[in-house]
Amino acid sequence: MERTWKDYREKRFFKPSPLKGIRVLEVATIIFGPLGPGILAQLGAEVIKCEIPPFGDTIRSFIPLWKGQSPALIHPNPNKYWLGLDLHKPEAQKIFHELATKSDIIENNLRPGVMEKWNVGYQQIKEIKPDIIYISKNGFGQWGQYATENRPSNDGASQALSGFSWMSSFPGQLPLKNRLFVCDDFGALMGEVAVLAALHYRKRTGKGQYIELSQTENIMRTMSWVWPYQQIAGKRAMPAGNRDVSICPADTFRCKDDTFVAIAAPAPDEFKGLCAAMGKPELTDDPRFKEHLTRIKEENAIEILKIIADWARTKTSRELEALAEEYGFAASHAYNVRDVVEDEHFQERGFVTKIDDPLYGKFKDLEFPVRMSETPTKRKWAVRPVGFDNEYILRNHLGKNDDEIKQLYECGALGKWADMEGRRPPPDWDGKTGMIMKR
């Protein structure tokens, strides 16, 4: 291991965080909205997640449930502070305004017009906090014929509308929705790229700005060559399943042990190595396959992929990976979720790690995928019930006393969790563990 990363996991909690001192107000649900602030939280920002009590974020109801909580909530929401604030109430809007004046960033993924209706839209916040960085994320953006309050979106809708699910299928089959929330995750990442750029701009100029992001346009951007191909060639890019139609050979093949391996060997040396591994070195000089631009022609591509498929069926996935390493082409076993968690490589790097949370105990999760030697990311705690940190936030940030907090509860501006699965603390909670004083 390079010296830079020696004892990285053990020492990172003693190093500074890159976004320490940055405060984020979040009004967001599911994954697309909360994941971005969750990234900032792992980078050291203080993120206050505002939920409408007593039910809070919709994702709290996503199954399966574990210790009364949805694991889907855990992934996008590390290190946050939890505020049960009903923004329908004028008193809650006033609290939000007070917090906004002490914050750097506001993030939401509600439909157009909702934040404005609650008196916490960008223009309303800008009047009291001119240098605020404010990002609105939703399915279709803030304007255009699809961007209306009455047209909700989600990850599946964005996969469909963008053409992503159609392109992800096999030829002649139904569009295939990716089971993972790819539009949510990629959209959240791109949103934080913009937020960090806006922070840099504000540092130079003192000016904040408004950022708007369309989930559907974001995933369209990942489809790379599809759009210029259609414009230049005048042809539609068609579904191709696991086959990569830009390079050849590149596909996923069934093995002797009924597992699957993704194999790619487009470069001259890689293709030569693959042919040697198959015991067919003569294919390297075959006029159909010698040059990549010839090899990728449809009839030739189909032929070479069939040759590889027949050969792969005689080997196990581990044998193919070993041959790939020996002969210099790419081959990777198609892992299932259990394979990933148990893989020694990911465990050695600390990517698959054990979380020890005071409320939910020990569980395995994936770490932040980027390592920073001087300002490392940190996973401090997991999720909390709706309104878990109400008193801490109002006393510590706004200086509210007990009577003022009591009045906010009485008028319904402030609230806590409903007594139901996904909202309340785990059944073995002692009423104290995990409270803010312990963090």
Q: Are residues 172 and 205 in the same domain?
A: yes
Q: Are residues 81 and 134 in the same domain?
A: yes
What are 264's two structure tokens? 């790619």
Burial of 269 (0-12, 13-18, 19+ CB in 10 A): exposed
* Separation of alpha carbons 327 and 61, rounded Å: 49
Is 403 within a domain?
yes
Listed residues 283, 306, 340: the one ending a domain = 340
β-pair partners for 108: 27, 136
* Separation of alpha carbons 164 and 223, rounded Å: 7
The pLDDT tens digits along the chain (439 residues) read: 577 888 887 888 889 999 999 999 999 999 999 999 999 999 999 999 999 999 999 999 998 998 888 999 998 999 999 999 999 999 999 999 999 999 999 999 999 999 999 999 999 999 999 999 999 999 998 988 888 878 888 999 999 999 999 989 999 999 999 988 999 999 999 999 999 999 999 999 999 999 999 999 999 988 878 888 777 778 788 888 999 988 999 999 999 999 999 999 999 999 999 999 999 999 999 999 999 999 999 999 999 999 999 999 999 999 999 999 999 999 999 998 888 888 899 888 888 888 889 899 998 888 888 999 999 999 999 999 999 999 999 999 999 999 999 999 999 999 999 999 989 999 889 988 888 754 4
Q: What is the pTM of this model?
A: 0.91
Q: What is the pLDDT of residues 399-419, one digit of tens each?
A: 999 999 999 999 999 999 999
Q: Are residues 315 and 365 in the same domain?
A: no
Q: What is the pLDDT of residues 12-51, one digit of tens each?
A: 888 999 999 999 999 999 999 999 999 999 999 999 999 9
* Separation of alpha carbons 393 and 176, rounded Å: 44
Is 107 within a domain?
yes
Is 227 within a domain?
no
* Separation of alpha carbons 220 and 253, rounded Å: 28
Q: Are residues 143 and 290 in the same domain?
A: no
Cis peptide before 71 (omega within 30 of 0): no
Is 242 within a domain?
no
Listed residues 340, 372, 393: the one ending a domain = 340
Cite the DSSP H helix spans in 75-121: 90-100, 114-117
Is 232 within a domain?
no
Indicate the residue type of 154: N
Q: Are residues 65 and 200 in the same domain?
A: yes
Q: Domain range spanning residue 319?
A: 250-340
Residue 347 makes CB contacts below 8 A (sequence gap 6+) with none
Q: Are residues 207 and 286 in the same domain?
A: no
Q: Are residues 317 and 367 in the same domain?
A: no
- pLDDT attached to residue 50: 98
